[in-house]
Structure 1
Amino acid sequence: MFDTCEPGQLIDLMSAAARAEAIAIAQRLSAVASLYAHREREFADRRLWLCDATTACAAEVSAAQNISRARATGQVHAAVALHKRLPKVATVFVTGAIDFRMVLAILSRTENVDDELMPAVDEALAERVPTWMRLSKRKLYDRLDLWVAKFDEAGVRVPPVAKDNRYFDIEPHIPGLAFAGGVLDATDASALNQRLEALASDVCENDPRTKSQRRADACGVLGRGEGALECQCGSSECPASTVRESATKIVIHVLAEQATVDGTSDHPGYLSGFGILPAESVRELAPDAKIRPIAKPGSRAEDSYRPSTALADFVRWRDLTCRWPGCDAPVAECDIDHTVPWPFGATHASDLKAYCRTHHRLAGRRLSSRL
């Protein structure tokens, strides 16, 4: 169909089609919301009817779009929530600046916000969400949660019901195996994850197990109180064959404002790899934590190709993940890349960004192809 098109034309076609798709979905949901409003008025005085406005509207949506009743009901709920609680976001949606994925994420993350606070949340999100289209699902949820927490007091603490329901179960599975899983405090989960990563990496490159299998076996190491995971390469000359007591120190990194730590602000912090951390959780960690300020770089660029430790720390905490659109690789696994290549580009925060190794290489290859 597009065999004769140049790459630039194909990219333009994709962009136009994506915007047209978003506009079409926005118009469809707007029509559903308007139909619901009609049926809601009609059913207002019909208390003895055997169905309500949602059921009636869903039946018509199901027939009109040739979809199941369940799908139609979900569409009615989404359309009504969007136009009643997020009218400014709905206005942005109909321009094609955001897509249905973004709308569903917004609806999900604002579902529990108090109705009185929704107008402020709606206005704040409508101004910003078009610039968040390139974010991955995890980064998008983090960004939405952060802005919800700015307006909703419930966002600064872990809901008691959720916190009290944390658990960790180990149950029999198929013969010879067991299932383990649960809901942990985020900081405990971060520490456990790092410990498993450290143990799973403490073998040589010839170990036949996958990383997931090594992490599973590392749980046994923890349970037995052993210091290291035994390598299974089978070589008598394996560099990892010398079993040593693990001295790896697990460090949890949390980014937070000083005012949050002091208790003069309830702005949430950020737990690397897990998203926002409620203010009360930040303050629970603070007494035993080593607090290190992140220095904001000055206006002058550094003279060397490699950034200083202070500048590198600032860039990593600013970016948090890989900056490539849609990538959420942790910043700990990223390189610091010059946007404009050195020496033409400055070693300064304005020209530096975090790129995972894959996208760092891809960016370098694209640059080379243009030279």
Structure 2
Amino acid sequence: MFDRVADRVVVSEMADSARAEAAAAARRLAAIAELVTRHADGPADRAYWSCDNWDAIAAQVAAALNVSHGLASSQMYLAMALRDRLPAVAALFAEGTLSLRLVSAIAWHTALIKDPGALREVDAVLASAARQFGPLSQAKTAQAIDAIVDRYDPAALRRTRAGARGREVVIAPDDNNDGTATLWGSLLATDGAVLDRRLAEMAHHVCDADPRTIAQRRADALGTLAAGGVRLTCACSTTGCPAAADADPRAAAVMIHVITDAATLTAQPDPHTSGEEPARPITPGTSVREALDPDPETPETRLPAAFLTSGAMVPASRVAELIAGGATIRRVNAFADAGPEPGYRPSASLQRFIRCRDMTCRFPGCDRPAESTDIDHTIPYPYGPTHPSNLKCLCRKHHLLKTFWTGPGGWRDRQHPDGTITWTSPSGHTYTTRPGSRLLFPSLCLPTAQLPLAATADRPLGHRGATMPTRSRTRQQDRAHRINAERALNAGRVAERNQPPPF
């Protein structure tokens, strides 16, 4: 693409593409703002619905952009801030002068300004000064924006909450498919000291023949604590080890669903996941792959991996460890020739099949794990049977959306025997979602039965004994409450600034 082109041309192309990218993002957000503006005034009673009018709009945005519901909602807030609160900044953004990262920072740091006059002043000043923010770091950009906000509305400064209020523990999914999850967060200092001491004690409880390093033992000890255990099971193979346990507490304390091929069940634990990384001498005949990965590959490590219903990958050797620790094995019935089940609630076996087949919520763009979703009848029961060809996983938000925002002008869905779902949005766009196991375990997606493919809008809803959960206050009231609460954090500082100078 850039063969025989000078570096100057390549760098210029980078800058031009960045401006085009910003302008395209501005058009996307402008379209989102237009959709929100057109449908913002929904029925008054639905403002108190748990799945309210804002959620109904967010569902369309999420499906169109193939993003999660939460990300779609945040895009809507940003789009409306640029349209209604920061028109001068939005104009520069539309030209490609400002980046999406910068306008997002501006919208966030000005969100607490309530006075329209102050907001107009801040918007104008930021628009004239924002060109200079580009080369600054993210922290320095925030400081520059806060300095301008402080000049016109000191009560609107985003104050960093007290560390105690900001404590959290985050467990990130397995993005690298290496069988591990990433954990980070902040605790109260006292809790941190207790946890550190407890992990150290458990790490040193095993015998000297345990192949794991201290760091690996501490990580495994945290999993044991989460499972309700108090002692770390020794990983040595010594007969009569005093630190050995009859069963690993992690095998039975909390249920997780792991989907795998039958061949994986005979895999052996991988001895190379614990201990120090083995050293391998580099010789003239050593390949690059061998140098980077000195662990020998065995037939067991080449087995198909298993997957949690949350989507994370688990090595076959880890499944073997869970089985050796006492994990229960259940064969998933494929329901290829099964007929409808009586009653509304699917059997445990059928629920297990649906969750293993779908793996996530089946709404476009949603990746909520199947284990935390509802089982939905595509054609409402009793007009639609309790059968795999009529059941799918939907998270609670999208289950409510499909149930209460359906019919003419709402969402419609059709399900096919292989689990494929065709969604039709209120705007008439169609989106197709397929079971998460389609590429991993295609046998779970074999056609189960051909049912009438009538859309939900073609069937009367009937009385299903369910009502929409409601909020104690509307989304708008809740947002105003949060803004007032954050502004109140600055009350002492504003009062101090407003005192007359000392004589």
TM-score for both structures, normalised by structure 2: 0.32
Structure ranking higher on relative contact order (CA contacts 8 Å, 6+ apart) = 2
* Larger fraction in helix: 1
Higher Cα radius of gyration: 2
TM-score computed with the length of structure 1 as normaliser: 0.43
